[in-house]
Copies of this chain bind each other. A is one copy, B any other.
Amino acid sequence: MIQVFNVVKMYDGSNPVLDNISLEISKGEFVFLTGPSGAGKTTILKILFGWESFETGQVLVQGINVGKLTHRNVYTLRRSMGFVFQDYKLLPNKTVFENVSFAQEVIGHDQKKIRFKTWEALKNVGLTPKKDAYPAYLSGGEQQRIAIARAMVNSPAIILADEPTGNLDPDIAIEILKLFEELNQKGSTIIFATHSQEIMKAGNHRVINLNRGKVVSS
């Protein structure tokens, strides 16, 4: 499903941010990605998503050679994936409902299906009462849950979640983890970047540990 071979990524030409990384994640797997701040977790997720280039190496996602994608066809890759951005990336001028439904409009679903699935996703993260609020009027944790709902709403084959529970209290964090596990049960492959020992303990899945751009344990 996801294969990463000897990938090197440098931002400024000197220090590699990813230093000859190799990984393999099979279809239907649930893995935690962890490591200290600045280790390269977000960078590797971005590479899988076709959002960052890399210097050397090979990346295959669902048989697609990510390094070869151009900006004209990268959307084919992204439509099969959901990304929970570390900084949420909610549109401030759209309501909660619109933010979530927007993700489906963009890939051309029809309006009825959109309403239904948006509603479903908001229910999953416990935000139906806030559906008409603008992001600025929500608490940090509520915003994070919209970002999660948006990444899940298309039931993508792969979900890349970048620190999706950083602003959530332990109870809700565990619930969100369960949500990801349900999706995983239904067939989605999940990569879950997190710092939280509690979450990793509760999840009991394979843990990939990064440090300074290298895989320390996997």
Residue pair B37, A168 in contact (C-beta under 8 Å):
yes
Given A36-B172, A137-B11, A172-B36, verify A167-B195 contact (CB < 8 Å): yes
State whether B195 touches A198 (Cβ < 8 A): no
CB neighbours of A170 from chain B (8 A): 195, 197
Contact with B along A153-177 (1 / 0, CB 8 A): 0000000001100111111110000
Contact call B198/A141, Cβ cutoff below 8 A = no
Q: Are A197 and B195 in contact (CB under 8 A)?
A: no
In the complex, which residues 168-193 of chain A have their Cβ closer than 8 Å to any Cβ of chain B? Answer: 168-173
Q: How far is the CA of A168 from the CA of B38 in the complex (A)?
A: 9
The distance in angstroms between the C-alpha atoms of A104 and B11, with both chains bound, is 30
Cβ-closest chain B residue relative to A171: B36
Q: Could you say which interface size class chain A belongs to?
A: 20 to 34
Q: Is the CB of A42 within 8 A of B167?
A: no
A166 nearest in chain B by CB position = B166
Q: Which residues of B contact A196 (CB under 8 A)?
A: 196
Contact assessment for A87 and B37 in the assembled complex, using a CB-CB cutoff below 8 Å: no
CB neighbours of A195 from chain B (8 A): 167-170, 173
- Is B166 touching A37 in the complex (CB atoms < 8 A)? no
Interface residue A29 (Cβ < 8 Å from any Cβ of B):
no
Take A37-B169, A195-B169 as given contacts and tell me if A42 and B87 are in contact as well, using a CB distance cutoff of 8 Å.
no
CB within 8 Å of B: which residues of A? Answer: 11, 34-38, 41-42, 86-87, 137, 139-143, 145, 162-163, 166-173, 195-198
A167-B195, A168-B195 known; 13 new pairs, CB 8 Å cut-off, are A35-B169, A36-B141, A36-B172, A37-B145, A37-B167, A37-B169, A41-B139, A42-B139, A86-B167, A87-B143, A140-B163, A173-B195, A196-B196
